[in-house]
A and B are shown apart, each in its own frame.
Chain A
Amino acid sequence: MDFFHAHQAQHYLVLAAMLFALGAAGVVLRRNAIIVLMSIELMLNAVNLTFLAFSRFPLVPNSPMGSFLTGHAAVFFVIATAAAEASVGLAIIIAVFRSRTSVNVDEFDTLKL
Protein backbone atom coordinates (compact mmCIF):
# COMPACT_ATOMS: atom_id res chain seq x y z
CA MET A 1 0.00 0.00 0.00
CA ASP A 2 1.25 3.40 -0.84
CA PHE A 3 1.20 5.58 2.24
CA PHE A 4 1.71 8.84 0.56
CA HIS A 5 -0.58 8.58 -2.38
CA ALA A 6 -3.28 8.40 0.18
CA HIS A 7 -6.23 8.87 -2.02
CA GLN A 8 -6.85 5.18 -2.27
CA ALA A 9 -9.76 3.11 -1.08
CA GLN A 10 -7.90 0.93 1.39
CA HIS A 11 -7.21 3.75 3.77
CA TYR A 12 -10.83 4.60 4.20
CA LEU A 13 -11.90 0.99 4.50
CA VAL A 14 -9.35 0.15 7.13
CA LEU A 15 -10.27 3.28 9.08
CA ALA A 16 -13.90 2.31 8.91
CA ALA A 17 -13.05 -1.20 10.14
CA MET A 18 -11.13 0.22 13.06
CA LEU A 19 -13.93 2.54 14.05
CA PHE A 20 -16.38 -0.35 13.80
CA ALA A 21 -14.20 -2.53 15.99
CA LEU A 22 -13.92 0.29 18.54
CA GLY A 23 -17.66 0.70 18.60
CA ALA A 24 -18.28 -3.05 18.94
CA ALA A 25 -15.74 -3.32 21.74
CA GLY A 26 -17.46 -0.52 23.54
CA VAL A 27 -20.81 -2.24 23.23
CA VAL A 28 -19.46 -5.48 24.60
CA LEU A 29 -17.26 -4.13 27.34
CA ARG A 30 -18.93 -1.11 28.89
CA ARG A 31 -21.56 -1.35 31.62
CA ASN A 32 -23.04 2.09 31.28
CA ALA A 33 -26.04 1.98 28.97
CA ILE A 34 -25.48 5.48 27.60
CA ILE A 35 -21.93 4.62 26.66
CA VAL A 36 -23.30 1.51 24.93
CA LEU A 37 -25.66 3.64 22.88
CA MET A 38 -22.86 6.00 21.95
CA SER A 39 -20.74 3.05 20.86
CA ILE A 40 -23.58 1.97 18.64
CA GLU A 41 -23.57 5.47 17.08
CA LEU A 42 -19.86 5.04 16.47
CA MET A 43 -20.49 1.77 14.66
CA LEU A 44 -23.13 3.39 12.50
CA ASN A 45 -20.68 6.09 11.57
CA ALA A 46 -18.15 3.51 10.53
CA VAL A 47 -20.79 2.02 8.27
CA ASN A 48 -21.49 5.43 6.78
CA LEU A 49 -17.83 5.83 6.01
CA THR A 50 -17.76 2.49 4.24
CA PHE A 51 -20.75 3.39 2.11
CA LEU A 52 -19.16 6.66 1.06
CA ALA A 53 -15.81 5.05 0.34
CA PHE A 54 -17.36 2.54 -2.02
CA SER A 55 -19.43 5.28 -3.59
CA ARG A 56 -16.29 7.27 -4.31
CA PHE A 57 -14.13 4.30 -5.32
CA PRO A 58 -16.40 1.90 -7.14
CA LEU A 59 -15.36 -1.63 -7.92
CA VAL A 60 -16.80 -1.72 -11.42
CA PRO A 61 -16.81 0.93 -14.15
CA ASN A 62 -20.55 0.93 -14.67
CA SER A 63 -22.89 1.28 -11.80
CA PRO A 64 -25.53 -1.44 -11.74
CA MET A 65 -27.95 1.03 -10.22
CA GLY A 66 -27.59 3.85 -12.66
CA SER A 67 -25.38 6.12 -10.66
CA PHE A 68 -22.77 5.89 -7.98
CA LEU A 69 -24.61 8.13 -5.60
CA THR A 70 -26.85 5.49 -4.10
CA GLY A 71 -24.28 5.16 -1.34
CA HIS A 72 -25.01 8.73 -0.37
CA ALA A 73 -28.71 8.02 -0.27
CA ALA A 74 -28.07 5.05 1.98
CA VAL A 75 -26.01 7.21 4.34
CA PHE A 76 -28.85 9.71 4.45
CA PHE A 77 -31.22 7.04 5.63
CA VAL A 78 -28.72 5.68 8.10
CA ILE A 79 -28.40 9.05 9.74
CA ALA A 80 -32.16 9.41 10.00
CA THR A 81 -32.55 5.96 11.44
CA ALA A 82 -29.73 6.48 13.89
CA ALA A 83 -31.44 9.59 15.15
CA ALA A 84 -34.71 7.79 15.64
CA GLU A 85 -33.11 4.86 17.36
CA ALA A 86 -31.02 7.01 19.66
CA SER A 87 -34.04 8.95 20.82
CA VAL A 88 -36.07 5.84 21.57
CA GLY A 89 -33.13 4.17 23.25
CA LEU A 90 -32.56 7.12 25.53
CA ALA A 91 -36.24 7.24 26.37
CA ILE A 92 -36.04 3.61 27.44
CA ILE A 93 -33.00 4.31 29.57
CA ILE A 94 -34.85 7.11 31.30
CA ALA A 95 -37.85 4.86 31.91
CA VAL A 96 -35.72 2.08 33.34
CA PHE A 97 -33.68 4.54 35.40
CA ARG A 98 -36.87 5.63 37.11
CA SER A 99 -37.48 2.24 38.71
CA ARG A 100 -33.97 0.96 39.18
CA THR A 101 -31.90 4.12 39.62
CA SER A 102 -29.13 2.46 37.68
CA VAL A 103 -28.01 2.55 34.09
CA ASN A 104 -25.76 -0.51 34.20
CA VAL A 105 -26.80 -3.02 31.55
CA ASP A 106 -25.84 -6.04 33.58
CA GLU A 107 -28.45 -5.13 36.16
CA PHE A 108 -31.23 -5.32 33.57
CA ASP A 109 -31.43 -9.07 33.48
CA THR A 110 -35.02 -9.73 34.53
CA LEU A 111 -38.08 -8.87 32.50
CA LYS A 112 -40.08 -7.38 35.32
CA LEU A 113 -39.12 -3.85 36.20
Chain B
Amino acid sequence: MAEAILFYLFAIGALVAGAQVIFRRNPIYGALSLVGALFFLSGIYVLLAAHLIAILQIIVYAGAVMVLFVFVIMLLNLKEEELGEQRITAWKGVGLAAVVASFGVIAWRALGPAFPQGALMQGDRRVDNALLVSGFGGVKTVGRILYLASILPFEVTSLLLLVAVVAAVVVAKGRI
Protein backbone atom coordinates (compact mmCIF):
# COMPACT_ATOMS: atom_id res chain seq x y z
CA MET B 1 0.00 0.00 0.00
CA ALA B 2 2.64 2.39 1.01
CA GLU B 3 4.59 1.38 -1.96
CA ALA B 4 1.69 2.21 -4.20
CA ILE B 5 1.32 5.70 -2.77
CA LEU B 6 5.00 6.39 -2.99
CA PHE B 7 5.17 4.99 -6.46
CA TYR B 8 2.42 7.18 -7.81
CA LEU B 9 3.84 10.17 -6.03
CA PHE B 10 7.25 9.75 -7.54
CA ALA B 11 5.90 8.72 -10.95
CA ILE B 12 3.68 11.73 -11.39
CA GLY B 13 6.45 13.97 -10.17
CA ALA B 14 8.87 12.51 -12.68
CA LEU B 15 6.41 12.84 -15.49
CA VAL B 16 5.55 16.42 -14.73
CA ALA B 17 9.16 17.37 -14.41
CA GLY B 18 9.94 15.58 -17.67
CA ALA B 19 7.16 17.44 -19.40
CA GLN B 20 8.55 20.69 -18.06
CA VAL B 21 11.89 19.86 -19.59
CA ILE B 22 10.51 19.66 -23.08
CA PHE B 23 7.93 22.36 -22.87
CA ARG B 24 9.74 25.27 -21.20
CA ARG B 25 11.32 27.86 -23.42
CA ASN B 26 14.09 28.94 -21.12
CA PRO B 27 16.73 26.23 -20.90
CA ILE B 28 17.56 26.97 -17.26
CA TYR B 29 14.05 26.02 -16.28
CA GLY B 30 14.44 22.88 -18.28
CA ALA B 31 17.68 22.04 -16.54
CA LEU B 32 16.21 22.53 -13.12
CA SER B 33 13.17 20.48 -14.06
CA LEU B 34 15.43 17.71 -15.17
CA VAL B 35 17.18 17.77 -11.82
CA GLY B 36 13.82 17.39 -10.16
CA ALA B 37 12.95 14.51 -12.49
CA LEU B 38 16.19 12.80 -11.58
CA PHE B 39 15.41 13.08 -7.91
CA PHE B 40 11.99 11.55 -8.36
CA LEU B 41 13.48 8.77 -10.42
CA SER B 42 15.97 8.13 -7.72
CA GLY B 43 13.10 7.59 -5.32
CA ILE B 44 11.61 5.07 -7.70
CA TYR B 45 14.92 3.27 -7.88
CA VAL B 46 14.79 2.88 -4.12
CA LEU B 47 11.36 1.32 -4.46
CA LEU B 48 12.96 -1.15 -6.85
CA ALA B 49 15.55 -2.06 -4.21
CA ALA B 50 18.34 -0.52 -6.30
CA HIS B 51 19.89 1.46 -3.48
CA LEU B 52 23.37 1.96 -4.83
CA ILE B 53 22.09 3.11 -8.17
CA ALA B 54 19.74 5.53 -6.53
CA ILE B 55 22.55 7.16 -4.60
CA LEU B 56 24.81 7.20 -7.63
CA GLN B 57 22.07 8.83 -9.67
CA ILE B 58 21.94 11.71 -7.23
CA ILE B 59 25.64 12.09 -6.78
CA VAL B 60 26.75 11.65 -10.39
CA TYR B 61 23.82 12.36 -12.60
CA ALA B 62 22.06 15.14 -10.75
CA GLY B 63 25.13 16.35 -9.00
CA ALA B 64 27.72 16.42 -11.73
CA VAL B 65 26.14 16.11 -15.14
CA MET B 66 23.33 18.52 -14.53
CA VAL B 67 25.71 20.96 -12.89
CA LEU B 68 27.70 20.83 -16.09
CA PHE B 69 24.53 21.59 -18.04
CA VAL B 70 23.79 24.55 -15.83
CA PHE B 71 27.32 25.84 -16.22
CA VAL B 72 27.10 25.69 -19.98
CA ILE B 73 23.74 27.43 -20.02
CA MET B 74 25.25 30.15 -17.89
CA LEU B 75 28.24 30.34 -20.20
CA LEU B 76 26.13 30.80 -23.30
CA ASN B 77 24.15 33.45 -21.55
CA LEU B 78 21.39 33.60 -24.14
CA LYS B 79 19.19 36.61 -23.87
CA GLU B 80 15.47 36.30 -23.90
CA GLU B 81 15.19 37.37 -27.55
CA GLU B 82 17.95 35.08 -28.70
CA LEU B 83 16.18 32.00 -27.52
CA GLY B 84 14.26 31.52 -30.74
CA GLU B 85 10.73 30.53 -31.60
CA GLN B 86 9.43 27.06 -32.01
CA ARG B 87 8.89 25.94 -35.58
CA ILE B 88 6.53 23.13 -36.40
CA THR B 89 7.23 21.32 -39.66
CA ALA B 90 5.60 18.31 -41.24
CA TRP B 91 8.49 16.09 -40.45
CA LYS B 92 8.28 16.99 -36.77
CA GLY B 93 4.69 15.89 -36.82
CA VAL B 94 5.74 12.63 -38.40
CA GLY B 95 8.41 12.17 -35.74
CA LEU B 96 5.98 12.92 -32.97
CA ALA B 97 3.49 10.45 -34.34
CA ALA B 98 6.20 7.83 -34.56
CA VAL B 99 7.20 8.45 -30.98
CA VAL B 100 3.64 8.15 -29.73
CA ALA B 101 3.18 5.01 -31.74
CA SER B 102 6.32 3.50 -30.25
CA PHE B 103 5.09 4.29 -26.80
CA GLY B 104 1.76 2.75 -27.57
CA VAL B 105 3.33 -0.45 -28.76
CA ILE B 106 5.58 -0.77 -25.73
CA ALA B 107 2.81 -0.01 -23.31
CA TRP B 108 0.49 -2.45 -24.90
CA ARG B 109 3.09 -5.14 -24.72
CA ALA B 110 4.09 -4.35 -21.19
CA LEU B 111 0.53 -4.32 -19.97
CA GLY B 112 -0.34 -7.47 -21.77
CA PRO B 113 1.63 -10.55 -22.47
CA ALA B 114 4.91 -9.68 -20.73
CA PHE B 115 3.73 -10.04 -17.18
CA PRO B 116 0.27 -11.63 -17.10
CA GLN B 117 -0.03 -11.21 -13.40
CA GLY B 118 2.35 -8.40 -12.74
CA ALA B 119 5.17 -10.54 -11.43
CA LEU B 120 6.55 -14.02 -11.63
CA MET B 121 4.07 -16.40 -10.00
CA GLN B 122 4.32 -20.00 -9.12
CA GLY B 123 0.80 -21.07 -8.42
CA ASP B 124 -0.38 -18.51 -5.92
CA ARG B 125 2.94 -17.39 -4.58
CA ARG B 126 5.04 -14.56 -5.87
CA VAL B 127 8.45 -16.00 -6.46
CA ASP B 128 10.34 -12.83 -7.27
CA ASN B 129 10.65 -11.83 -3.66
CA ALA B 130 12.31 -15.13 -2.91
CA LEU B 131 14.82 -14.41 -5.57
CA LEU B 132 16.11 -11.39 -3.84
CA VAL B 133 19.37 -12.25 -2.31
CA SER B 134 20.37 -10.51 0.84
CA GLY B 135 21.95 -7.28 0.05
CA PHE B 136 20.15 -7.00 -3.29
CA GLY B 137 21.08 -3.71 -4.80
CA GLY B 138 23.64 -2.94 -2.17
CA VAL B 139 27.23 -1.91 -2.63
CA LYS B 140 28.71 -5.28 -1.98
CA THR B 141 26.57 -7.28 -4.36
CA VAL B 142 26.72 -4.77 -7.17
CA GLY B 143 30.44 -4.45 -6.60
CA ARG B 144 30.87 -8.18 -6.98
CA ILE B 145 29.16 -8.03 -10.36
CA LEU B 146 31.19 -5.07 -11.51
CA TYR B 147 34.59 -6.34 -10.50
CA LEU B 148 34.17 -10.02 -11.17
CA ALA B 149 31.75 -10.60 -14.03
CA SER B 150 32.05 -7.38 -15.95
CA ILE B 151 35.54 -6.20 -15.16
CA LEU B 152 36.33 -5.53 -18.82
CA PRO B 153 33.51 -3.06 -19.40
CA PHE B 154 34.49 -1.45 -16.14
CA GLU B 155 38.03 -0.78 -17.25
CA VAL B 156 36.95 0.28 -20.71
CA THR B 157 34.52 2.74 -19.20
CA SER B 158 37.38 4.37 -17.35
CA LEU B 159 39.13 4.76 -20.70
CA LEU B 160 35.96 6.17 -22.12
CA LEU B 161 35.86 8.79 -19.43
CA LEU B 162 39.44 9.73 -20.14
CA VAL B 163 38.66 10.11 -23.81
CA ALA B 164 35.62 12.21 -22.99
CA VAL B 165 37.68 14.52 -20.83
CA VAL B 166 40.31 15.03 -23.51
CA ALA B 167 37.67 15.48 -26.21
CA ALA B 168 35.72 18.01 -24.25
CA VAL B 169 38.83 20.06 -23.59
CA VAL B 170 39.99 19.93 -27.19
CA VAL B 171 36.64 20.69 -28.78
CA ALA B 172 35.65 23.49 -26.48
CA LYS B 173 39.01 25.13 -26.35
CA GLY B 174 38.95 26.60 -29.83
CA ARG B 175 42.61 27.18 -30.52
CA ILE B 176 44.89 24.42 -29.33
Using a CB–CB cutoff of 8 Å, the interface residues on chain A facing chain B are 1-15, 17-26, 28-32, 34-35, 37-39, 41-42, 45, 48-49, 52-53, 55-61, 65-70, 72-73, 75-77, 79-88, 90-95, 97-98, 101-104, 106
Contacts and interface: CB of A to CB of B under 8 A. Distances in A.
Contact of B44 (A49, A75, A85): A49
Contacts, number: 269
A83 to B, nearest CB: 5
B161 interface: yes
Nearest to B1: A4
A58 B145 contact: no
Query: Interface majority SS on B: helix, strand, loop or mixed?
Result: helix
Contacts of A91: 167-169, 171-172
12 contacts: A1-B111, A13-B106, A13-B114, A17-B103, A21-B102, A32-B27, A35-B27, A48-B53, A83-B64, A84-B164, A91-B169, A92-B171
A17 B44 contact: no
Interface in B91-142: 92, 95-96, 99-100, 102-103, 106-107, 110-111, 114-115, 117-120, 122, 127-128, 131, 133, 136-137, 141-142
Contacts of A87: 65, 68, 164-165, 168
9 residue pairs, one from A and one from B, having the closest CB atoms: A8-B118, A6-B4, A26-B22, A84-B164, A28-B95, A21-B103, A91-B172, A13-B110, A91-B168
A82 B38 CA distance: 13
A72 B45 CA distance: 11
Given A9-B119, A81-B157, A18 B15 contact: yes
Contacts of B100: 21, 25
B17 to A, nearest CB: 9
Q: How large is the interface on B (under 10, 10 to 19, 20 to 34, 35 or more residues)?
A: 35 or more
B142 A73 contact: yes
A107 to B, nearest CB: 9
